């Protein structure tokens, strides 16, 4: 076993890195670039039943500390990603399919088609899209989350994961974990989606920087690293039978290592992938390898969840 290899759901990964859904994964050209990159796996753009063009532009903006976006689920429709997944060579690298149906019924239709296709692709069910006007995030409504998971687990018989939003209170960590733990089929949690409905202001123009929702959007990058690490660690502690995929604020190998210490098995890269392109994965692997070697680790799994407290 090499220094960086790991496993999830019985599948081997040559390294823990992949994209955050939404970044560099909307069409075949982008997905093929991830497949050709040094990422250990990759995930498709969250999809809906029908294709969507998404919100008006500008809808993504970079700042020195990260990014804000309100894309509005632009995607090619689930059939496109299912076709991509059916042509993918899984012996080369694992692939995740991200689903973000606009209703329970939409998710059930997509899940039914995925079931029938019987592919090795792993579902990441998005419970935390903050950017569709008029549609609140499912995972901020615990009854809706329970209903969605009951429906999906009845329809689907394979293990899958859920993409979670950040929580900011121990009562919410506890309540979310209790629901998730009542569904053993939920095998992993991806923590976190962007911190939703933030506002970036440009001083000179005295204006918002993105057009949808009067400038409100989800933030990523440096802004979110401590929140992401807290959520990874909070759910790592509360959900001992599940795996955690860390997402949020990864810009260097050091931050990959911090996510793993907090409890992550895999680590996703969003804002920095958008900034740097798929070459980011090779750099992060070099950096995290140097860090693990300096610290004397023989495998990345030795570090997982080994965060110390004072
Ligand atoms: C979008 C943003 C998200 O954070 C998400 O989870 C799904 C979709 C979007 O705006 O496209």
For atom 6 of ligand 1, the residue with the nearest CA is: 129
Which of 10, 20, 27 is closest to 163 using CA atoms? 20
- Helix, coil or strand: residue 192: coil
Instruction: For ligand 1, atom 3, name the residue with the nearest CA.
Output: 129
- Probe ligand 1: pick from 19, 20, 22, max atoms within 8 Å of CB? 22
Q: How far is ligand 1, taken at its centre, from the CA of residue 75, in Å? A: 10
| pLDDT the model gives residue 168 | 98
pLDDT tens, position by position, 26-83: 999 999 999 999 999 999 999 999 999 999 999 999 999 999 999 999 999 999 999 9
On whether the CB atoms of residues 26 and 75 are closer than 8 A, the answer is: yes
Centre of ligand 1 to C-alpha 175, Å, is: 23
- Which portions of the chain are predicted below pLDDT 70? none
**Quick one: which of 249, 132, 233, 251 has its CA closest to 189?**
233
Going through 47-143 in order, the beta strands assigned E by DSSP cover 60-63, 66-69, 95-99, 122-126
Alpha-carbon span 242 to 238, nearest angstrom: 9
What is the model's pLDDT at position 102?
Answer: 95
Superfamily of domain 6-54+73-195+222-302: Aldolase class I (3.20.20.70)
Nearest-atom number in ligand 1 for the CA of 59 is 10
In this structure, the strands spanning 201-202 and 122-126 are: unpaired
Could you give the 3-state DSSP secondary structure of residue 19? strand
Residue with tokens 């979670």: 164
pLDDT of residue 153: 98
Residue 252 is predicted with a pLDDT of: 98
Gap between the Cα atoms of 250 and 144, Å rounded: 30
pLDDT in the model for residue 299: 97
129 catalytic? Reply is yes
pLDDT confidence of residue 132: 85
Q: Whole-angstrom Cα distance, residue 278 to residue 84?
A: 19
Domain boundaries, the chain: 6-54+73-195+222-302
Beta strand 201-202 with 207-208 is antiparallel
Q: Active-site residue among 129, 191, 239, 247? A: 129
Note the pLDDT of residue 46.
98
pLDDT at 130: 84
- Bond into 307 cis (ω within 30): no
Q: What is the pLDDT of residue 136?
A: 85
pTM of structure: 0.99
Atom of ligand 1 nearest to the CA of 72: 10
pLDDT in tens, 245-273: 999 999 999 999 999 999 999 999 999 99
Which residues have C-beta atoms less than 6 Å from ligand 1? 22, 46, 54, 70-73, 100, 126, 128-131, 193-194, 218
Which residue has its alpha carbon closest to ligand 1 atom 4?
129
């Amino acid at each position: 076993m090499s220094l960086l290899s790991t496993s999830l759901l019985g599948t081997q990964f040559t390294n823990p890195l992949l994209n955050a859904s939404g970044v560099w994964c909307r069409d075949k050209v982008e997905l093929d670039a991830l497949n050709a990159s040094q990422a250990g796996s990759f995930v498709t753009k969250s999809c809906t039943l029908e294709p969507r063009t998404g919100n008006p532009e500008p809808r993504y903006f970079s700042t020195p500390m990260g990014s804000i976006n309100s894309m509005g689920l632009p995607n090619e429709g689930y059939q496109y990603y299912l076709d991509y997944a059916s042509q993918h060579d899984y012996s080369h690298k694992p692939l995740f399919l991200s689903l973000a149906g606009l209703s329970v019924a939409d998710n059930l239709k997509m899940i039914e088609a995925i079931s029938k296709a019987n592919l090795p692709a792993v579902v990441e069910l998005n419970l935390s899209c903050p950017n569709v006007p008029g549609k609140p995030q499912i995972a901020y409504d615990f009854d809706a989350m329970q209903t969605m998971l009951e429906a999906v687990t009845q329809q689907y018989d394979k293990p899958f994961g859920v993409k979670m939003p950040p929580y900011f209170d121990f009562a919410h960590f506890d309540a979310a974990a209790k629901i998730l733990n009542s569904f053993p089929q939920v095998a992993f949690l991806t923590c976190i989606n962007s911190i939703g409905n933030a506002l970036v202001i440009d001083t000179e123009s005295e204006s918002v920087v993105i057009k949808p929702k009067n400038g409100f959007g989800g933030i990523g990058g440096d802004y979110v690293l401590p929140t992401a690490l807290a959520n990874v660690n909070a759910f790592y502690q509360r959900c001992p039978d599940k795996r955690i995929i860390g997402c949020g604020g990864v810009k260097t190998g050091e931050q990959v290592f911090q996510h793993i210490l907090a409890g992550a098995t895999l680590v996703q890269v969003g804002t920095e992938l958008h900034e740097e392109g798929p070459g980011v994965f090779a750099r992060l692997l070099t950096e995290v390898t140097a860090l693990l070697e300096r610290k004397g680790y023989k495998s990345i799994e030795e570090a997982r969840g080994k965060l110390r407290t004072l």
